Structures are given as structure tokens and as C-alpha cells.
Amino acid sequence: MTKKTTIYDIAKRLNITAATVSRALNNNAKISVATRKLVLQTAKEMNYEQNKLALALKSGKSYNVGVIVPRIDSNFFASVIRGIEEELYPKGYHVIICQTHDQQNLEIENINSLLNAQVDGVLMSISNSEIENNDSFNKLIKKHVPLIFFDRKKSISGVSSVTIDDFKGAYEATKHLIDQGYKRIAHLSNDRSLQIFKNRYLGYKQAIIDNGLEFDESLVIETMSKVAEGRKTTKIFLDMDRRPDAIFSSSDFTALGAIEEIKAHGLKIPEDISVVGFSNEPFTKFMELSITSVDQSPIEMGRIAAQVFLEEVNNSKKVKSEKHIVLTPQLIVRKSSQRLTQLV
């Protein structure tokens, strides 16, 4: 077995003290730049690896951060994770990714596992099945582990969040359909116990009212964010005596299902029925019939959530700060809804 190089081996080669080597490896300003460079170069030549556990014990940090998402097979959440990693990796942090699959028990298990792993913070988007109490979140707070919500959040005192203006995104998407001449606009909603989907519903509803159209609750159906569910729910709309002439979906996946079902009925998009989604998943722009959608700036969301974490974890005064950052959504207009004007 090959013997591991220690700081004492480096010190012996350079004829300096082990304490000087240690300080140089930790970029201590008391050590000259020339000595620091020499120590780092020698450490590299000797294949020296720092003891991460010892560093963690000394600094009080594990340099691991937990990220909890409903699922990673979504471009939105994958992009948020990318943004988090791009911000944290250069600072020496590693990311531990957990999925809840929108299940309450897995969410609780993930939080407990991350606490046992001694993570320095948790960045998370809560599951669809909202936890009835805040016990798991309070565990993090009591242990002074920074908790930052992104996209889906709960309102908890002292906990920061990074979201987008879901109300505004839904309002602009619905207003776009009205401007295109559509008058009977349906809404494929999602679990409105979650604030993001409630806000999308409210934005849709307000746009209908503000523009002098009749709000019809029968044109709103709550469903899951799946293509098959989008098809099934859209069939209900198409079987109505007065079917809608446009659909605003709170999810791109249900929007895709809606398009498949509309085509199966021999109807044209957007001439007969228009469709708008939400999230700007990659497939929305690569389809032959590209889908109008609301972009959520997921990479930026991830970066900002990571920045908020860094501010909290590096707060030497230990004064709890609570930030609520709301990003501005952008409506990306494509073929599925562009009826009256030419695409840019």
C-alpha cells in the first residue's frame, strides 16, 4: 500500500515547519506569496491530498450543501441545480442532490438524511404534497442550518426564498391569448395548495376579468403535470357544448398533452384552439409546432439561491436575515398561439 503524503513530508522536503506548510495550504495571508506558491507546487508534485474531515472539524463546515427537488428529469429543476453548482463549486462546496418525487415521506427522509450528513445548508423546492406541519423545516432552523426555498416555497419566519412572479407570468400569457382574439380561454391548473400554481390560476383569472371577458369556473380543471393527464383533461374541454378556443396550461407537459389531444380530434392549432404552457422546457421550441411558454430563468434562480445561502453561511454576526427575491418571468411567443401577428 502506497503511503499517503503528509504535511510533514512536504515540510521535510522544503526544510520548513509543518505549521508553515499548513498555513500555506490554507492560503494564510501571514505566509508570503512565494512560499505559498512553492508549497502548493510541492504538494501537487508529491500527490498530497488534504484531509477533508480534518478541515471540516477545524472550520466547523462540511462544505456540502443539500439540494432537494421534486424530480431531476425536468429541465427546469436540472437547470436550477446547474445554477447552484456553478455558484458553489468555485467556493469549494459540493452539492448533494435529493428527489422527493412529490412525496411527503421522501421529503422528510431527505431532510433528515442531509442533517445526518452534516450539510452546511439546504436549498429546496417543496413537494406537491405539502407537509401539514413544519417540524422537518424547524429541525434545520434549530440547528442553524441555512434553509433557502426556490420556486416552490412555504412561508416560514426567517427562511429566505427565490421565486418568479407566477401571477405576472400567467397574467401575461392569458393577456397574450386575449390580444390574439381568443375569448373562451380554459386553464389547465395544477395542485393549488402550492402557492405557485395558485398564483398562476389567480393571474389567469385576473387577466380574464380585467379584459372584460366572462370568467367561467367550469373552464378551470386541476390536474397533474403529466402529458397523459393533459390529454385526458383536454378531452373534457373538447367534449363541451361550447368548447374553449384557447388553453393556458400551468405546465408545459400538460400543454403538450393538450396539443396531442387537439390534433387527435382533427382540430388545427392555433386556428381552432391555441395553447400556451409554462416553464419553457426545451421541447417547446424544438417541436414542429413550437409551444408558447413562460420562461422562469432557472439557472439565474439557482445562482441567486446559492448566493443567498453563501451570505447566510458566511454571516459572522449570526444575525438571521430573511430575503424574498422575486424574478420577472418572460413570455416566449411561438407558433402554438400566434394567430394574428407575425412571429418575431
Q: How many whole angstroms separate alpha carbon 312 and alpha carbon 42?
A: 35
Beta bridge partners of residue 331, listed in sequence order? 294
Is residue 341's pLDDT more than 70?
no
Which of 42-56, 99-113, 329-343 is most confident? 99-113
Q: Would you state the pLDDT for residue 239?
A: 95
State the pairing for strand pair 185-189/220-222.
Answer: parallel
| DSSP letter (8 states) at residue 339 | -
Q: Are 121 and 164 in contact (CB under 8 A)?
A: no
Phi, psi for residue 79 in degrees, rounded to 5: -70, -35
Phi and psi dihedrals of 94, rounded to 5? -115, 150
Q: Is the pLDDT of residue 1 over 70?
A: no
Asked whether the predicted pLDDT for residue 163 surpasses 60, the reply is: yes
CA 195, 197, 200 angle in degrees (round to 5)?
110
Percent helix, strand and coil across the chain, each rounded to 5?
A: 45, 15, 40
* ∠ CA 185-191-194, rounded to 5°: 115
Residue pair 97/108 in contact (Cβ under 8 Å)? The answer is: no
Q: In this structure, what is the dihedral angle of CA atoms 76, 69, 326, 172, given to the nearest 10 degrees?
A: 40
pLDDT in tens, 309-323: 999 998 766 656 789
Bond before 270 cis per omega within 30 degrees: yes
Provide mean pLDDT across the span 31-56: 81
Instruction: Name the one residue in this structure whose C-alpha cell is 395548495.
Output: 193
Query: Which pLDDT score is estimated for 53?
Result: 53
Handedness of CA 316, 317, 322, 324 (dihedral sign): negative
Domains defined for the chain, CATH in brackets: 7-50 (1.10.260.40), 62-163+298-326 (3.40.50.2300), 166-296 (3.40.50.2300)
DSSP string, 206-240: HHHHHTTPPP-GGGEEE--SSHHHHHHHHHHHHTS
Confidence at 21, pLDDT banded by 50, 70, 90 = confident
303: pLDDT strictly greater than 50: yes
pLDDT tens-digit series, residues 227-281: 999 999 999 999 999 999 999 999 999 999 999 999 999 999 999 999 999 999 9
| CB distance 190 to 253 below 8 Å | no
Residues 306, 84 contacting (CB under 8 angstroms): yes
pLDDT, mean of residues 128-141: 76
Under DSSP, the state recorded for 90 is G
Closest to 122 in 3D by CA, of 324, 315, 318, 305: 305
Q: Which helix (H) or strand (E) holds 163?
A: strand 160-164
C-alpha cell recorded at residue 281: 422546457
- Give the integer Cα–Cα distance in Å for 148 and 67: 10
Inform me whether the pLDDT recorded for 22 exceeds 90. Answer: no
